[in-house]
Chain A
Amino acid sequence: MTPALETRGLSIAFGGLKAVDAVSFSATRNKITTVIGPNGAGKTTLFNLISGGLRPASGTVMLDGRNVTGFGPAALQGSGLARSFQITNLFFELTVRENLGLAAQTLDPVINAFFPVGRRGRAADKVDELIERFGFAAKAHELVAALSHGEQRRLEIAMCLASEPQILMLDEPTQGMSHGDTEETARLIRSLSTEVTVLLIEHDIGLVMSLSDHVVVMHQGRKLSEGAPAEVRSDPAVQAAYFGHG
């Protein structure tokens, strides 16, 4: 079966620094693949290369067997890829509902762009569903700027789901969350993996081990190891580079 997402020899350098160096891996459909590695290993840069934020110097990105190398973020989003950001990246002056509406309105046919934003239609239904599912019912009309950090992080994930993507890329979704929020988010991500392919960057090793189906370890821009969580954990090279420090 063709993997949902595959990279081959993906590379980019900033000046002399090889931020991502010939990284090849694939993410299986409806599984959770996690990219781990110490700070500066190139995880977020890898995400930017895949999601169109950066153009790779060499290598290819395949979605569902289709070459999408060099596509911009909007085109990739149209191809079914959605991503969240490590640093909360939302429309702070708009309400929760308006944020989700913006993300969901791509579901409606283009002709709808010429009529007032509706209460009905696929996009509106999707927004209602996400508000329910993510527990924003009481805060739907609050400005995003007024939400707590944990709520903003949750909204980041909801925004990605609004366009019904096939591949969901989450860059440290639990960053800065309380312990309780982190566990809740982990449950949420696990439940999502039945509908989408999840690609995750995560620092919390406990979470990585319990959540992931497949782990890719990066170190200094290169892929150091990959495999099932237990395999990776027992890999001596990984232990030296990563767990050894932690």
Chain B
Amino acid sequence: MLDRLDISLRANHVLFVILFTAAFVFGVMASMTGDRFYLRLATEALILSGLALSIDILLGFTGLLSLGQALFFGVGAYVSALVLREVPSFWLALGAASGASLVAGVVGGLIANRVRGVYFALITFGMAQIVAKIIYNTRSLGASDGLIGIPVVEIPLGFVTLSAGNPLEFFLVVLGGITLIYAGMSYVLSSPFGRVMIALKANEKRVPYLGYSTWAPRMVAYVLAAVIAGTVGGLYPMLRGFVSPELMFFSASGDALIMVIIGGSGTLVGAIWGAILLVAFKSVVGSWTEHHLIIVGLMFMAAVLFMKRGLIGLVKPMIERRLVRIEAAREMRKEGKAP
């Protein structure tokens, strides 16, 4: 029989496959009807889902509340924008965004991981605000206007070259990127190292008595989350053609946190569903009333109060039970065949 954590990961995979299929069908259909707006919006939702996923690594698995994750998203976005303005190369920009967010993650982690709990949350919040303010006041980085005039890039994938200017092509590239990130993080979580991360959330005080450092896995989780946030941040200017300091503001970090909570924390896939729902919701309700943030706030409160596991929590137990039954049946068959 499988461990509960393995069942949980498999249930996430089922929900991810559903999401991937739906996204793919949506992309093709939207493209066939000649739509640009909704494809662009969906691409933005997927990019933001990477930021939300990075928060879930910390909040849902390691038990760390980051209120400033947009810092790394912004670092990735700015570095990518700066590179693209000089050399319009997709891979160079993405690599630079990942590298810069790795460095920023190590520095930020060394500072934030000195403390725990509320203090950790406050420090992550503070670091993001400080860097956002610095950029806001730095003329060479465009100050409050941000950086504009980022060219449309070609995306060479070896066998085919796509364009960030084509809504469907870029949507598919981002979808592929999120799939890789999701698969990579699922792999990490299924390893013994992932188990230690999960143990940190469940009962941090016991972990050192099992022979593990608590600092090192916290640090690795933090840096991983930073690199993921920075890498998807690097995609942002390719979509929008500009970056602005608002990307790092608390509203961006807070939005991503709301996505995780509404979708369901501790599931990875919940963050992605949450991002898509929140972006879609804001777009639809935002066209009716400019007070849509009130409704988002109420949704957040409702999720915290009534759906501790978020929207994913409504269907995931069903999928898990089904997976357990399938697994049990498989073992029965195996035992039946054995001599």
- A residues neighboring B (CB under 8 Å): 51-52, 72-74, 77-78, 82-83, 85, 89-95, 97-98, 101-103, 105-106, 108, 112-117, 123, 140-141, 143, 159, 163
Contacts and interface: CB of A to CB of B under 8 A. Distances in A.
Contacts of B213: 74
Nearest to B266: A93
A89 B195 contact: no
Contacts of B4: 94-95, 98, 141, 143
Contacts of B214: 74
Contact of B202 (A52, A94, A141): A94
B209 A77 contact: yes
B3 A101 contact: yes
A58 to B, nearest CB: 23
Contacts of B211: 74, 77-78, 106, 163
B191 A101 contact: no
Nearest to B213: A74
Nearest to B9: A116
Given A141-B4, A143-B4, A90 B192 contact: no
B203 interface: yes
The 4 closest A-B pairs by CB, nearest first: A77-B211, A73-B208, A91-B202, A116-B190
B203 A90 contact: yes
Contacts of A114: 191, 193
A74 B199 contact: no
B203 A89 contact: yes
B325 interface: no
B264 to A, nearest CB: 15
B203 A92 contact: yes
Contacts of B190: 116-117
Contacts of A143: 4
A51 B209 contact: yes
Contact of B210 (A52, A106, A116, A140): A106
A112 B6 CA distance: 17
A97 B7 CA distance: 13
10 contacts: A74-B208, A89-B206, A94-B4, A94-B5, A94-B202, A95-B4, A113-B192, A140-B1, A141-B1, A141-B3
A-side interface mostly? mixed
A94 B193 CA distance: 15
B187 A98 contact: no
Interface string B167-194: 0000000000000000000010011111
B77 interface: no
Interface residues of B, number: 26
B271 interface: no
Given A92-B202, A94-B4, A94-B202, A117 B191 contact: yes
Contacts of A91: 199, 202-203, 206
B210 A117 contact: no
A74 B213 CA distance: 6
Contacts of B210: 77, 102-103, 106, 159, 163
Contact of A94 (B191, B198, B205): B198
Contacts of A117: 3, 6, 190-192, 194-195
B209 A95 contact: no
A116 B187 contact: yes
Contacts of A140: 1
A159 B206 CA distance: 11
A98 B8 CA distance: 13
A74 B212 contact: yes
A90 B3 contact: no
Contacts of B196: 102
Given A74-B211, A163-B211, A108 B203 contact: no
B202 A93 contact: yes
Contacts of A95: 3-4
A108 B209 contact: no
Interface in B200-259: 202-203, 205-206, 208-214
A85 B205 CA distance: 11
A159 B195 CA distance: 15
Contacts of B187: 116
Given A74-B208, A77-B208, 18 more contacts: A78-B211, A89-B209, A91-B206, A94-B4, A94-B5, A94-B199, A95-B3, A98-B5, A102-B199, A105-B195, A106-B211, A112-B192, A114-B193, A117-B6, A117-B190, A117-B192, A141-B1, A163-B211
A82 B209 CA distance: 7
A83 B209 contact: yes
Give the most central of A52, A105, A140, A143: most B CB within 10 Å: A105
Interface in B81-99: none
Contacts of A113: 191-193
Contacts of B206: 85, 89-91
Contacts of A52: 208
A159 B187 CA distance: 25
A77 B6 CA distance: 27
Contacts of B209: 51, 73-74, 77, 82-83, 89
Give the most central of A90, A95, A113: most B CB within 10 Å: A113
B71 to A, nearest CB: 28
